[in-house]
Structure 1
Amino acid sequence: MIENSIDAEQYTYENTCHTVEEAASAAHVSPNDIVKSICLIDNDGNLIVAIVRGKDRVSTSRVAKALNIEIPQIATPEEVLDKTGYICGGVPSFGYEAIFLIDPKVMENELIYTGGGSPYSLTKISTKVLHQINKGQIVRVRK
């Protein structure tokens, strides 16, 4: 973030932020302020990241329709680490090569908290900055 002058703040906590509830509790915010980066793999091995509010679930069929592809598979923890450089439970919504899809409900918030690179950290970032840096498509991907 510093190297690329990204306007965001990273926080590290003593307790894990692996679940939405844990993240919201640690940051003292609503679960609607937390976003998840759900990593998917298409038939060609490309990484797709569907970004949804913490309580929402990703529809793989909506992802497929948005990208005009076959239904992608949820990435394994090994694929997530290999493709993003981060372990499951701490994957940020930016900062690596992927096709990013941002659910419109995420964009209703001015600020959100996303994975901070580890299960013990979060990154606070504006949705406008997030959209600019990951060049995400805003498309409904939630169920």
Structure 2
Amino acid sequence: MNFARDPTYHRRIRTVTDDQHLPERSRLVQQQLSDAGVAARVRELPDAARTAEEAASALGCEVGAIASSLLFLADEQPLLVMTSGRHRVDTDLLAANVGAREVRMASAKQVRAVTGQAIGGVAPVGHPSPVRTVIDEALSDYSTIWVAAGTPHTVVPLDLNQLMMLTGGEKVQVATD
């Protein structure tokens, strides 16, 4: 879908006010937001946005304001990295900054097992159990950060402080633009 060529696309992004109309995974995310006192509401996109570029195009924001949720294994332990869509994670730098000997990308099966969510829709919350999380310091450049909300069709706007509070995550450098 070329979001930029559809002038009605942005009007079709729907803020969901009735949680029962959300997919199950997104309901879990919305519940955790509400429980934490975060007023942000999940928004439903007319089409899936599985990449930062697709999400930025759909939302009409800079790609750097998209917080891609990437699951890595740091010394075989799950590590969720909320990274700015403007760059790729440097695994050597990440390993050094989280005190790990080795960091590698988790498989799709591991992502689903750890987060309960599919690649392209992994939210920072709503997982079966807490996941150690780090947040790309580059996200500090944006007042609004868009994160997946449990499916490739759902997103939620947060600010950096909300993201850090929700995840218990610490800011780290994950790339050298």
1:86 alignment partner in structure 2:
117
Residue 101 in structure 1 maps to residue 134 in structure 2: yes
1:76 alignment partner in structure 2:
107
Among 97, 111, 129, which residue is 2:162 paired with? 129
1:134, CA displacement in angstroms? 0.8
Among 140, 144, 149, which residue is 1:111 paired with? 144
What does residue range 5-84 of structure 1 map to in structure 2 within 5 Å?
Answer: 5-43=37-75, 45-84=76-115
1:40, CA displacement in angstroms? 0.3
1:92, CA displacement in angstroms? 1.2
Superposed CA deviations along residues 68-113 of structure 1, whole A, max 9, x for unmatched, are 2112110101100110111000011234322211111102212100
Higher alpha-carbon deviation: 90-99 or 118-127:
90-99
1:137, CA displacement in angstroms? 1.2
Q: Which whole-Å CA distance do the structure 1 matches of 2:92 and 2:99 have between them?
A: 10
Q: Which whole-Å CA distance do the structure 2 matches of 1:112 and 1:41 have between them?
A: 24
Q: Work out the percentage of aligned pairs sharing the same amino acid.
A: 23
Partner of 1:37, secondary structure, is strand
1:5, CA displacement in angstroms? 2.9
- Preserved contact between residue 40 and residue 157 of structure 2 (Cα < 8 Å): yes
Partner of 2:110, secondary structure, is helix
**TM-score with structure 2 length normalisation?**
0.74
Partner of 1:2, secondary structure, is helix
Q: Which whole-Å CA distance do the structure 1 matches of 2:35 and 2:169 have between them?
A: 21
1:7, CA displacement in angstroms? 3.0
Higher alpha-carbon deviation: 76-85 or 19-28:
19-28
**Higher helix content, 1 or 2:** 2
**Aligned-CA RMSD value:** 1.5
Structure 1 residue runs without a partner (length 5+): none
Q: Which whole-Å CA distance do the structure 2 matches of 1:42 and 1:21 have between them?
A: 26
Q: Which whole-Å CA distance do the structure 1 matches of 2:35 and 2:125 have between them?
A: 14
Q: Which whole-Å CA distance do the structure 2 matches of 1:139 and 1:42 have between them?
A: 14
Structure 2 residue runs without a partner (length 5+): 1-32
Amino acid at match of 1:38: L
Q: Which whole-Å CA distance do the structure 1 matches of 2:112 and 2:143 have between them?
A: 29
Which has more radius of gyration?
Answer: 2
Q: Which whole-Å CA distance do the structure 2 matches of 1:19 and 1:133 have between them?
A: 22
Which runs of at least 4 in structure 1 moved beyond 6 Å after TM superposition? none
Q: Which whole-Å CA distance do the structure 1 matches of 2:98 and 2:60 have between them?
A: 35
Partner of 1:94, secondary structure, is coil
